[in-house]
């Protein structure tokens, strides 16, 4: 395509984008860079107001979305003299009832991530009070609203978006003209909050929140969304009709809203998912493959049955012009998908590997499977794990974190009591161990679910998870010397909020990679999970790879990413598909069953009621069904991987 044609294409795409996306959206490669961009815009506004001798009013959010912004603001305060002396803040919301000292309170959150580290005048901080009596709430909310108006209104409002489409705690059903008030939390929002409160029962039913009208009065609004789990609701908020069933759609009427998202959160936007529906595309092989798979799914026909007419009727006639005919296009994509399928994830010895996902040599590879939590290895790639061992590779598994907060207190107590009784019966326990068990038992008996796990409790829970992980890895055929527990320090907080990735974390990963010098590394590629453990664990591996990139042996080291329990790679992104027979799938299930503390109702089930083994099977079967529907062979299940190239 000539450059003039490309420019016209891009212009027309930009023009048509406006009719699809009803608010300006900027997509960033990664949530860190995006957060830094927002923080810098805020800092600029603070400094401008300082020069004018004026105050600035910020509307602040909590939750995982703004953490990166606060981190950068704190850094700028420490390293670049950014002062907050002229800043007044109003937080969007607070649970009700809620004591400010409780770990789950938004007061605690704001102090931890921002206020304790900057020079803001405490008198300028406003957060809805979760302790006031029910009879006073209405008047309190009226005054909160009045206070915002009295200081001249909010200059910059930060927002996250909930999976219900809420902004603040304005849940579906919120009116456009709602102001600060007491609200009931949606069931989905309460389920999402279990990770902070420990149990469903502990999550409050209510909250005080600024209203839609309060938010709409802000002069500038930043809506942030990171991660795949936000993709679906974000698409509705940006492209859907304005409706109180998705309160964030009201932002479409705001004159100065900026939506800032990362790639994962943008995946459902039309311009990413089906850009050919918006206008002309700059075609390349990846986009072509995505379009053909979409067309096949849309028409319900396998790829080789797609006709010129199908392409023409679905906005894809360009593709036929670009690739000559549907016949050639179909064969190209069909073969490409066929080449992803292999029963030899470690490479097939003595075979021509030019069209295979992995190299044939060396026939016996050294392999590390990194597992962020102690059960991700078997949940996400148990079938492939079993195969790699059976096919004679030197497989090591490395459990990156202890996973020690995800054991129920009652399970930990049961183990301790057994140990105490067993130890006493055979007089086996040394004094220090007796003390540890007695102390941990005492703490557990008095502990509320939502309380932080003490060091003693974490030690016990960590041992439980180690035992399960060992059993799972052994079931897959590993010797004890091939099982590594890395206990990365960032995880060891005793709560769901983790420390940022540190040098010590990366060093641990580097040391193991240097020791094994692997040909293959498998890692959890949950780019979708910006602040969660999986993402931190992946960043540690990326940093280790970068630090080791000049080592000669690293040239032979390939990194394969698997996805965690919830999402699979979309088919057009899969580069290695490992089919599982019904028996292999059953064996994988048994490996997952070794993780007894995670069975039935695990402490952190996320927003999915199925058990982990059910999610894994459903997902692997769904991938196989998709391959089948596209016209490839029928398999019971498929595990999928994508190669990460630096
Ligand atoms: C928080 C708030 C909520 C969150 C939303 C997204 O003050 O009002 O609307 O912004 O629930 O939460 P995260 O960012 O944790 O995904």
In sequence order, what DSSP letters do the residues of 605-618 get, joined into one string? -TT--S-HHHHHHH
- Among 89, 160, 195, 214, the mutation site with the greatest number of ligand 1 atoms within 8 A of its Cβ is 160
In short, whether 23's Cβ falls inside 6 Å of ligand 1 is no
- Give the whole-angstrom CA distance, residue 2 versus residue 249: 39
Q: Is residue 327 part of a domain?
A: yes
The β-bridge relationship of strands 87-91 and 125-126 is: parallel
Which residues does residue 225 pair with via DSSP β-bridges, in sequence order? Answer: 261
In short, whether 84's Cβ falls inside 6 Å of ligand 1 is no
Q: Is residue 13 part of a domain?
A: no
Residue 498: how many CB atoms within 10 A of its CB?
18
- Give the whole-angstrom CA distance, residue 102 versus residue 492: 20
Q: Are 378 and 511 found together in one domain?
A: yes
Domain count of the fold of the chain? 3
Report CA(166)–ligand 1 centroid distance (Å).
8
CA 179 from chain centre, in angstroms, equals 32
Q: Are 382 and 501 found together in one domain?
A: yes
- The dihedrals phi and psi of 640, each to the nearest 5 degrees, come to -120, 145
> The domain spanning residue 587 has which CATH number?
3.40.50.10320
* 506-to-7, 396, 517, 531 alpha-carbon distances in Å: 44, 18, 16, 17
Question: Residue 4 has what pLDDT?
Answer: 38
Which residues does residue 561 pair with via DSSP β-bridges, in sequence order? Answer: 523, 642
Instruction: Residue 284: give the domain boundaries.
Output: 280-338
Q: Are 252 and 307 found together in one domain?
A: no
Sheet containing 220-225: which strands, arranged edge to edge? 25-28, 257-262, 220-225, 156-159, 56-60, 87-91, 125-126
- Give the whole-angstrom CA distance, residue 640 versus residue 638: 6
Asked which of 294, 319, 338 is the last residue of a domain, the reply is 338
Q: Are 267 and 288 found together in one domain?
A: no
Q: Are 117 and 244 found together in one domain?
A: yes
Exposed (0-12), middle (13-18) or buried (19+): which is 287, by Cβ within 10 Å?
middle
Q: Is residue 213 part of a domain?
A: yes
Q: Are 74 and 182 found together in one domain?
A: yes
> The domain spanning residue 74 has which CATH number?
3.40.50.1360
Residue 171 catalytic? Answer: yes
Question: Residue 476 has what pLDDT?
Answer: 98
As given in the structure block, the two tokens for residue 480 are: 């004890």
CA 478 from chain centre, in angstroms, equals 30
- Give the whole-angstrom CA distance, residue 591 versus residue 614: 13
- Give the whole-angstrom CA distance, residue 28 versus residue 34: 6
**Residue closest to 13 by CA, chosen among 252, 323, 231, 276:** 276
SS3 100: coil
Report CA(233)–ligand 1 centroid distance (Å).
13
Residue 378 backbone zone (phi > 0: left; psi -120 to 50: alpha; other: beta): alpha
90-114 residues labelled b (16+ CB within 10 A) or e (exposed)? bbbbbbbbbeeeebbbbbbbbbebb
In short, whether 67's Cβ falls inside 6 Å of ligand 1 is no
Report CA(205)–ligand 1 centroid distance (Å).
16
- The dihedrals phi and psi of 28, each to the nearest 5 degrees, come to -105, 150
As given in the structure block, the two tokens for residue 260 are: 């800032």
Q: Are 86 and 193 found together in one domain?
A: yes
Asked which of 271, 302, 330 is the last residue of a domain, the reply is 271
Question: Residue 450 has what pLDDT?
Answer: 65
Determine the angle formed by the axes of helices 31-51 and 67-80, rounding to 10 degrees.
50
Q: How far apart are the first and last CA of the chain?
A: 29
As given in the structure block, the two tokens for residue 192 are: 């999402």
Q: Are 490 and 536 in contact (CB under 8 A)?
A: yes
Asked which of 321, 338, 355 is the last residue of a domain, the reply is 338
Question: Residue 565 has what pLDDT?
Answer: 67
Q: Are 231 and 317 found together in one domain?
A: no
Q: Are 82 and 47 in contact (CB under 8 A)?
A: yes
Report CA(66)–ligand 1 centroid distance (Å).
9
Q: Which protein residue's CA is at the shortest distance from atom 12 of ligand 1?
A: 63
- Give the whole-angstrom CA distance, residue 359 versus residue 348: 7
Question: Residue 191 has what pLDDT?
Answer: 87
Question: Residue 2 has what pLDDT?
Answer: 37
Report CA(472)–ligand 1 centroid distance (Å).
36
In short, whether 529's Cβ falls inside 6 Å of ligand 1 is no
Q: Tokens 């679910």 identify what position?
A: 449
Kindly name the residue from 94, 145, 171, 456 that is annotated as catalytic: 171
Q: Are 620 and 639 in contact (CB under 8 A)?
A: yes
Q: Is residue 32 part of a domain?
A: yes
Quick one: the chain helix, strand, coil %, rounded to 5? 50, 15, 35
Exposed (0-12), middle (13-18) or buried (19+): which is 585, by Cβ within 10 Å?
buried
Q: Are 250 and 160 found together in one domain?
A: yes
Q: Which protein residue's CA is at the shortest distance from atom 10 of ligand 1?
A: 160
**Residue closest to 319 by CA, chosen among 271, 287, 273:** 287
Q: Are 284 and 266 found together in one domain?
A: no
Residue 433: how many CB atoms within 10 A of its CB?
13
Question: Residue 496 has what pLDDT?
Answer: 82
Q: Are 200 and 294 found together in one domain?
A: no
**Residue closest to 396 by CA, chosen among 544, 553, 516, 558:** 516
Q: Are 365 and 346 in contact (CB under 8 A)?
A: yes
Contacts of range 64-67, beta carbons closer than 8 Å, 24 or more positions apart: 64/160, 64/226, 64/530, 64/531, 65/160, 65/161, 65/224, 65/225, 65/226, 66/35, 66/113, 66/158, 66/160, 66/224, 67/35, 67/113, 67/531
pLDDT in tens, 525-575: 976 665 589 989 999 999 999 999 999 999 999 999 999 767 789 999 999
Ranges of residues in the chain whose predicted pLDDT is under 50: 1-8
Q: Which protein residue's CA is at the shortest distance from atom 15 of ligand 1?
A: 63
Q: Which protein residue's CA is at the shortest distance from atom 2 of ligand 1?
A: 168
Q: Are 266 and 288 found together in one domain?
A: no
Q: Is residue 356 part of a domain?
A: no
Exposed (0-12), middle (13-18) or buried (19+): which is 510, by Cβ within 10 Å?
middle
If you ran DSSP here, which 8-state letter would residue 598 be given? Answer: G
Question: Residue 467 has what pLDDT?
Answer: 98
């Amino acid at each position: 395509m000539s450059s003039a044609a490309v420019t016209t294409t891009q212009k027309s795409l930009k023009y048509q984008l406006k009719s699809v996306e009803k608010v300006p959206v900027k997509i960033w490669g990664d949530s860190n860079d995006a957060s830094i961009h927002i923080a810098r815009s805020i800092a600029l506004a603070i400094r401008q107001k300082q020069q004018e001798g004026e105050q600035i009013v910020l509307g602040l959010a909590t939750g995982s979305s703004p953490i990166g912004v606060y981190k950068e603001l704190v850094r700028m305060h420490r390293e670049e003299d950014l002062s907050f002396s002229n800043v007044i803040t109003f937080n969007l919301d607070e649970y009700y009832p809620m004591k400010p000292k409780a770990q789950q309170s938004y007061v605690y959150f704001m102090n931890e991530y921002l206020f304790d580290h900057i020079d803001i005048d405490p008198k300028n901080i406003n957060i809805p009070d979760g302790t006031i009596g029910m009879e006073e709430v209405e008047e309190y909310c009226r005054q909160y609203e009045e206070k915002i108006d009295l200081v001249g209104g909010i200059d910059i409002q930060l927002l996250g978006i909930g999976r219900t489409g809420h902004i603040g705690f304005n849940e579906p059903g919120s009116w456009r003209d709602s102001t600060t008030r007491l609200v009931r939390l949606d069931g989905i929002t309460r389920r999402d909050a279990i990770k902070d409160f420990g149990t469903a029962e502990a999550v409050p039913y209510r909250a005080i929140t600024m209203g839609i009208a309060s938010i709409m009065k802000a002069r500038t609004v930043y809506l942030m969304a990171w991660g795949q789990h936000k993709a679906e609701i974000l698409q509705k908020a940006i492209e859907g009709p304005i409706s109180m069933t998705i309160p964030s759609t009201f932002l479409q009427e705001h004159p100065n809203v900026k939506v800032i998202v990362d790639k994962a959160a943008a995946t459902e936007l039309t311009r990413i998912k089906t850009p050919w529906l918006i206008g002309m595309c700059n075609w390349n092989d990846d986009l072509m493959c995505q379009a053909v798979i979409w067309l096949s799914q849309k028409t319900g026909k396998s790829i080789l049955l797609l006709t010129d007419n199908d392409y023409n009727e679905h906005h894809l006639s360009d593709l036929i012009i670009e690739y000559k005919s549907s016949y050639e296009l179909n064969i190209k994509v069909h073969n490409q998908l066929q080449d992803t399928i292999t029963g030899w994830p470690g490479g097939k010895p003595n075979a021509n590997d030019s069209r295979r996902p992995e190299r044939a040599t060396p026939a016996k590879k050294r392999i590390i499977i990194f597992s962020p939590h102690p059960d991700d290895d078997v949940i996400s790639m148990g079938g492939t794990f079993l195969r790699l061992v059976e096919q004679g590779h030197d497989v090591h598994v490395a459990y990156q974190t202890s996973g020690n907060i995800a054991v129920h207190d009652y399970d930990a107590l049961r183990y301790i009591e057994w140990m105490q009784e067993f130890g006493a019966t055979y007089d086996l326990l040394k004094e220090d161990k007796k003390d540890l068990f007695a102390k941990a038992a005492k703490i557990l008996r008095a502990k509320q679910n939502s309380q932080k796990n003490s060091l003693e409790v974490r030690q016990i829970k960590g041992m439980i998870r180690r035992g399960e992980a060992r059993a799972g890895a052994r079931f897959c055929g590993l010797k004890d010397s091939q099982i590594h527990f890395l206990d990365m320090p960032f995880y060891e907080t005793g709560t769901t909020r983790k420390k940022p990735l540190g040098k010590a974390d990366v060093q641990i990963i580097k040391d193991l990679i240097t020791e094994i010098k692997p040909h293959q590394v498998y890692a959890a590629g949950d780019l979708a999970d910006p602040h969660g453990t999986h993402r931190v664990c992946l960043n540690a591996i990326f940093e280790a790879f970068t630090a080791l990139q000049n080592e000669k042996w690293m040239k032979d080291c390939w990194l394969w990413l698997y996805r965690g329990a919830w999402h699979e790679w979309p088919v057009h992104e899969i580069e290695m598909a490992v089919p599982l027979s019904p028996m292999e799938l059953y064996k994988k299930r048994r490996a997952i069953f070794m993780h007894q503390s995670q069975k039935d109702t695990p402490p952190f089930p996320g927003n999915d009621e199925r058990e982990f083994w059910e999610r894994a099977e459903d997902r692997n079967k769904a991938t196989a069904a998709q391959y089948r529907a596209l016209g490839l062979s029928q398999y019971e299940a498929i595990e999928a991987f994508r190669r990460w190239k630096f």
